[in-house]
Amino acid sequence: MLEQDNSDLDIALTTAIEHGDAIENELAAINDRLRGEVAERMRAESRLEKLLVALSQQKSDLEILVSTITEHSDEIDAEWLRRYAQVEELSRTDGLTGIANRRAFDDILLHEWLRAARGGSPLAVVMLDVDFFKNFNDHYGHQAGDACLAELGQVLQRACRRPVDLPARYGGEEFTLILPDTDQDGANSVADAIRLDLAGLAMPHEGSPYGVVTVSMGVLSRLPVRGTDPAELLADADALLYAAKREGRNTYRTPTG
Do 118 and 236 lie in one domain? The reply is yes
pLDDT of residue 84: 45
Contact criterion met (CB below 8 Å) for 195 and 128 = no
Are residues 116 and 58 part of one domain? no
Domain range enclosing 170 = 97-253
Q: Which of 63, 112, 173, 247 is catalytic?
A: 173
Check whether residue 109 and residue 67 sit in a common domain.
Answer: no
Residues 140 and 29 in one domain: no
Given 71, 89, 110, which residue is the final one in a domain? 71
In a domain, 236, yes or no: yes
**How many structural domains is the chain composed of?**
2
163 and 241 assigned to the same domain: yes
Residue 157 domain-assigned (yes or no): yes
Question: pLDDT, tens digit, for every residue of 79-90?
Answer: 545 554 444 555
Structural domain includes residue 39: yes
Tell me the CATH number at 165: 3.30.70.270
Rounded to an integer, what distance in angstroms lies between the CA atom of residue 231 and that of residue 47? Answer: 70
Residue 92 covered by a domain: no
Is residue 88 among the annotated active site residues?
no
Residue 32 Cα distances to 26, 37, 42, 234, angstroms: 10, 9, 15, 91
Rounded distance between C-alpha atoms, residue 124 and residue 191, angstroms: 11
In a domain, 91, yes or no: no
> Residues 217, 183: contact at Cβ < 8 Å?
no
pTM for this structure? 0.67
Quick: pLDDT tens for 35-79.
777 677 777 677 767 776 776 777 777 777 677 767 766 665 565
What pLDDT, in 10s, does the model give residues 188-241?
A: 999 999 999 999 999 999 999 999 999 999 999 999 998 888 999 999 999 999
Half-sphere CA count of 183, side-chain side, radius 13 A: 2
Q: How many residues does the chain have?
A: 257
User: Does residue 234 lie within any of the structural domains?
Assistant: yes
Domain-located, residue 200: yes
